[in-house]
Amino acid sequence: MSESYDLIAIGGGSGGVAAARRAAAHGARVAIIEQANLGGTCVHRGCIPKKLLMYASQFRASFDLAAAYGWSAGQPEFSMAHWQDAKTRELERLETVYENMLRQADVTVIRGTATIMGAGEVRVGDRTMACKNLLIATGGRPSTAPIPGLDTALTSDDILQLRTVPERLAVVGGGYIGMEFASMFARLGSKVSVFFRANAPLSGFDEELRERLRQAMEHAGIAVFPQTLPRSLARDGSGYRMVLQDGQEMRFDAVLNATGRVPNTAGLGLDAIGLELTAAGAIPVDSYSKTRIPGVHAIGDVTNRVNLTPVAIAEGRAFADTVFGGQDTPFFHDQVATAVFTDPPIGTIGLGETQANARGPTTVYETQFKPMQTAFAGRDNRSYMKLVTDSETAKVIGIHMIGPDAPEIIQSLAVAMRAGATKREFDRTIAVHPTAAEEFMLMREPVRTYAAAT
């Protein structure tokens, strides 16, 4: 073998790139292999283009609100094709940024499909490379639920490539991907219907957030079908024919399969190293991202731990610091803040009320109010905030919000929670007025207490 590296990372997404750069900074000889675009799902098929579409969709409400503030303008029109072209240029720019960062870090970038030949051997085409350490960071891919015909629907990858806004859009799945696209396309003018298995969207989130999002979506004109999944789906001319479990037929111009994502492990050659997967198809690892095979690690969505871009980045850096930096750096997945860019958006960190109550004595504080910007325009939408605390220590163990600016507010409050803040610190903090965030400092009286775990 003519090529040998201290580390080969398979997957040029955010986690793989972060790990490769950090390992190289510690003096390792590093190569990274990517078969598609540097930046991975987040940059090209997830976080970034999704947020750009969210920005585009928000302007409709801004135009409507402007009139209440004294502005007058003509009827606005949205061009999905214009957005698509601008988005493509921006993602191409970002991929160049990623490639330049890797080259400046002296990381060798290899384009192609990697096949693992052994724990220390990887092949790309007719090129074979040896490595002391192998990092698998291949992410995830859209899954297909066992619903006949659902494989003909758009995936989250596909919907970001549309050049026109569908008149009638069905979203199958109640997770954050489905709810975000439902909100965005509703604001862009689609007549949206959402179908999901549970009684409310966003399983695993605080129950109050879930119910309030369901109500907000219905208020926005989205048809919500809880505890309902299609019996079958079929192409029907230029659109789709959906049959529900009760036999009802519905027709749509586009259908989004948002039933989830699965670890992207197919075709890697994991059998060559005897690496067995979990029941969910993920690569099992410990808190150091080590597999049971010496010298083989895995990070990010392919491990199916907490599937968020910043988590994959943190896992990658912790791996590199441990293996190449001489720093014992395990990574634990507690207190990870997250956001859902729906309408209204959600920000959350820590335990929901039900989860906290199951653990021990809990005290809950909450508030709701009409946001100033929209209240001035006569709108009746509301923001909602919740603090969940440990009754014995008063430590804040959960922070939840649905309403404008929730993601930005939760990001800042995550620092306080990570630092172990108690309710007393929130009470002693002087509020910035007038802001929405100040309401987290002004909750004084508990609304619910739980004496013991139930």
Q: What is the pLDDT of residues 75-85, one digit of tens each?
A: 899 999 999 99
The CATH-assigned architecture of domain 150-259 is 3-Layer(bba) Sandwich (3.50)
Structure tokens at 95: 């991929």
Q: What is the pTM of this model?
A: 0.95
Residue numbers belonging to the annotated binding site: 51, 173-180, 260, 301
Q: In this model, does residue 1 exceed pLDDT 90?
A: no
Mean pLDDT of 344-361: 96
Is the CB of residue 11 less than 8 Å from the CB of residue 37? no
User: What is the C-alpha to C-alpha distance for residues 211 and 217, in angstroms, rounded to an integer?
Assistant: 10
pLDDT of residue 2: 67
pLDDT band at 311 (very low <50, low <70, confident <90, very high): very high
- Domain boundary assignment for the chain: 3-142+262-323, 150-259, 344-450
**Residue-level pLDDT at 240:** 98
Fold equal for 150-259 and 344-450? no
What average pLDDT does the segment 309-322 reach? 98
Tell me what pLDDT residue 453 has.
Answer: 66
Name the token pair of 23: 């390992």
| Per-residue confidence band for 352, with pLDDT thresholds at 50, 70 and 90 | very high
Burial bucket for residue 133 (CB in 10 Å: 0-12, 13-18, 19+): buried
pLDDT of residue 332 exceeding 60, the answer is yes
- In the sheet where 191-195 sits, what is the strand order? 223-225, 191-195, 168-172, 254-257
Q: At residue 309, what is the residue type?
A: T
Return the pLDDT at 277: 96
Cis peptide before 434 (omega within 30 of 0): yes
Tally Cβ neighbours within 10 Å of residue 89: 10
Q: Give the pLDDT confidence score for residue 75 in this predicted structure.
A: 86
User: Which residue(s) pair with 239 in the sheet?
Assistant: 236
**Share of residues in the chain with pLDDT > 90 (%):** 95
Please give the residue that has the higher pLDDT: either 424 or 451: 424
Assess whether 297 carries a catalytic annotation: no
CA distance 12 to 18: 9
State mean pLDDT over 90-105: 96
**454 falls in which pLDDT band (50, 70, 90)?**
low
Largest CA distance in the chain: 71
Residue in 26, 297, 400, 433 annotated catalytic: 433
CA distance 51 to 309: 14
The CA distance from 438 to 445, in Å, is 16
Whether 209 contacts 186, CB under 8 Å = no
Type and span of the H or E element at 261: strand 261-263
Q: Higher model confidence: residue 454 or residue 195?
A: 195
- Binned at pLDDT 50, 70 and 90, residue 204 comes out as very high
Question: If you ran DSSP here, which 8-state letter would residue 136 be given?
Answer: E
Residue % of the chain over a pLDDT of 70: 99
pLDDT tens across 252-307, in order? 999 999 999 999 999 999 999 999 999 999 999 999 999 999 999 999 999 999 99
Q: From the annotation, which residues make up the binding site for NAD(+)? A: 173-180, 260
Higher-pLDDT residue of 73, 252: 252
Is residue 5 within 8 A of residue 303, CB to CB? The reply is no
* Mean pLDDT (whole number) for 308-314: 97
The stretch 199-212 carries a mean pLDDT of 97
E strands along 62-212, which residues? 108-111, 114-118, 121-124, 127-136, 140-142, 168-172, 191-195
3-class secondary structure, 235: strand
Q: Domain 344-450, what fold?
A: Enolase-like; domain 1 (3.30.390)
Q: What is 3-142+262-323's CATH number?
A: 3.50.50.60
Which whole number is the average pLDDT over 143-165? Answer: 94
Bind-site residues for FAD: 51, 301
